[in-house]
Structure formats: C-alpha cells, structure tokens
Amino acid sequence: MNLSAALQESVRQVYRPPVQAAAFDLEKFYSPSRLSRYGFARHALHEALKLIRARIPGKHLVLVPEFICRDVLSALSALGLEPRFYPVDEQFRPIASELEPAFADPSILAGLVVDYFGFAQDLEPFKSLAQRLNIPLIEDNAHGLLSRDPAGHLLGSRLDYGLLSMRKTFPLMNGGALIQMSEDVSLPSVAESKTTAIGLRRKLKSSIREWVPLLGVRPIVWASSLNRARRKWKTGSEFVRGAPEDEFQLPEPKEMLNPEDLSHLDPVAEARRRRDLYLMLDPLLKAVGANPVFERLPEGCVPFAFPFRIAREQEPALKKRLFQLGLEANLWPDLPTAVLRQAPDHYQNVQLVRFMW
C-alpha cells in the first residue's frame, strides 16, 4: 500500500509531535479566564465541585452523562457526592425528554457537560435549564484543548467552569487545568510542581520518540500489536479495562509534573496536523467499513481522535488497514459500573484512532 508523503508525515507525528522554539503560554492562550493547573483533569473537577459546594451547601448529586469514563467519578466520590446520570444519543447529544427531569431534581449541585473528542457540544439545552434552575455548569473539555466552537469560542471557556487535559493533546506525563469564568469565588493558587518526579513510562516513551525519525513508526506498531495479542490471550480482550476502584480513587500526584514541558510545544502545528490526519483518514477508513461518529469535521475543531463504529465482520479489514498506516484503534470509554449494566449498543461500540501515542 503506497501512502502519500503527507499522510506518512501525519502518522509519524502521532509518535513524535511537532515542537517549536517559542514558548506556549497556556494562561495567555485561555485569557481572560482564570486558570489553575493540576495533575489530571479529575483534580480540576474535584476543585470545581469543592468551590460550588462551598456556595451551595446541602446538595449531593452531580449531573453526569452516561457516556463517560468511570475514572471521572472519582472526583465526585472524593467529596461524598453521587452521579445522577443522563442519557445521550448516538452523536452524544442529550436526550431532551430525559434532560429536564434530571435537572429538576432538587438535590442537583452541578451539571457536567462533555465536549467529546474535541467536537463542540451544543450548550443551549443545558444552559436554558441551568439558568432557570440556578445550577452551575462545568464544561469537560479534556479532549479538545485547542478546539473552538462554530462561534470561535475556545472549548472549556463557555460555561461557569472548564476542565482541560493537556496530556491528552501533548506528550506529557500528566497535566490538567481548571478554568473559572465567573469571579465570585477565587481559584486556588497554582500548586508547586514536582519537577523531579518523572515516571519510568514517560522516560521510555520520550526516548523512543527520539528514534522515530531514524527508525520510523513500524517498530512501535509491531510492539503494540504484540502487546495487544498478549493481552487478548491473557484476558480475553485486547482492550484495556480499568479497575472498579478507579471510580473512587483520585490519582496521584495532584500537582502537574514538569509544567515547563509545555514551553516547547507548537499549538498551531499540532492543530493543523490533527485536522489534516482526520481528513485523510476519513475516506480511507470509510472504504473498509468504518462509520464516523460525526458526519463532518467542523471548522475550528481540533480532534482528539478519529471516532467511529464498525460492524464486527468488517473489523479485520479495518485493523489491517490501520496496521498498514502505522495506527491502531481502541474502544472508548471504560463505562461506569452503574451504566455498563444496561448500556445501549451505541455506548459500547465506539472505537478511537488516537492522534497521539
């Protein structure tokens, strides 16, 4: 299979993203909002809920979409809060008939709205209810650090609070942030980073990335394929599943490691290469049976991944094509236990071709 030079370069940058000499100033990028950094977006959510509860005591439920990673719930559990789930459709939009009763529950403290995979969620169904019922809203933009909505607003800066996860856009060991748009409560000062705490996995990946220009991506793809085969032989599934305790335990550390790692990253080149890769993959994967979750890539969207669904009998051809490209797909998300028991098919058959290794 002959790949265009542009596609080969876009795939190579999945494993070694572009860099620049000038510093990337995250605070300036999201100005004039107020921003505080943490180890993970879950810590940022935990902090937002603490601030909200200080203003609105006595409530214990948080509106959360059913289509969510189970580890998000750890931020609620650490505060003694509980999720009140609301369903979403196949494009992850709220189901109107279910949303209003969920908001009307008098025990609701706050609502979580998710921008899936860097695509802007329509906020109007949430904002109209939240304003009428005086419920603060948190925009979970862990997947779309550089994305904007059709009006040009940065995702994560459109509601009372916003969550970011820099580590899901750039090759960082960890890194999340909380954005506060209102000024009624002060954010905590930025925590001191533990610049010496560098994990073995991060060191290994960093070393491997340095060899990509010389060796290409094929050795990484082969190693990943072997690991997936080993996992399937051992567990019956090639996809990684989290542990039940992930719903209750916040990860360590709370602080962001090595925030200076952001200084050399190139947001303009990163946004361009993610959009280019999405648009190049779209016809190639459709040709082997993939059905993209979203009909098109909107202007301003910087995709976290290429999300799709596919019939089981067409999966072997798709895996072969991805392997030829130097890529792979994974199921997402690892659903909460309470949701998994009765989850509809459209929650369980979403796969992602991620745009960063």
Average pLDDT over every residue of 68-77? 97
Residue 62 in contact with residue 109, Cβ under 8 Å? Answer: yes
- Report the share of the chain in percent with pLDDT over 90: 68
**Residue 161 within any structural domain of the chain:** yes
Q: How many domains does the chain have?
A: 2
For residue 148, being part of any structural domain is answered with yes
Check which CATH number belongs to the domain holding 315 and give it: 3.90.1150
- The per-residue pLDDT for range 280-306, each reduced to its tens digit, is 999 999 999 999 999 999 999 999 999
Q: Say if residue 208 is in the same domain as residue 117.
A: no
Alpha carbon dihedral 288, 293, 296, 302, in 10-degree steps, equals -110
The pLDDT score that the predictor gives to residue 197 is 45
Mean pLDDT score of the chain: 89
Instruction: Give yes or no for residue 188 having a pLDDT over 80.
Output: no
Structure tokens that stand for 45 in this block: 């959510």
Q: Look up the pTM and report it.
A: 0.91
- Do 127 and 258 lie in one domain? The reply is no
pLDDT tens per residue, range 192-249: 444 444 456 666 777 787 778 777 888 888 888 888 778 778 777 766 777 778 999 9
Reported for 156-159, long-range contacts at CB under 8 A and 24+ positions apart, including other chains, are 156/30, 156/115, 157/30, 157/33, 157/181, 158/123, 159/113, 159/123, 159/126, 159/127
Q: Is residue 220 part of a domain?
A: yes
Same domain? 326 vs 217: yes
* Confidence tier at 256 by pLDDT (50, 70, 90): confident
Residues 36 and 161 in one domain: yes
Residue 304 lies in a domain: yes
**Number of Cβ within a 10 Å radius of residue 146:** 22
Q: Does residue 16 sit within a domain?
A: no
Can you read off the two tokens belonging to residue 273?
Answer: 């290469």
CATH number, position 69 = 3.40.640.10
Which of 148-157, 168-177, 283-292 has the lowest average pLDDT? 168-177
Q: Which helix (H) or strand (E) holds 61?
A: strand 61-65
SS3 of residue 62 by DSSP: strand
State whether 348 and 229 are in the same domain: yes
The answer to whether residues 27 and 176 belong to one domain is yes
164 and 206 in a single domain? The answer is: no
Q: Going by C-beta distance under 8 Å and a sequence separation of 6 or more, which residues neighbour residue 237?
A: 231
Structural domain of residue 334, as residue ranges?
A: 5-11+198-245+252-354
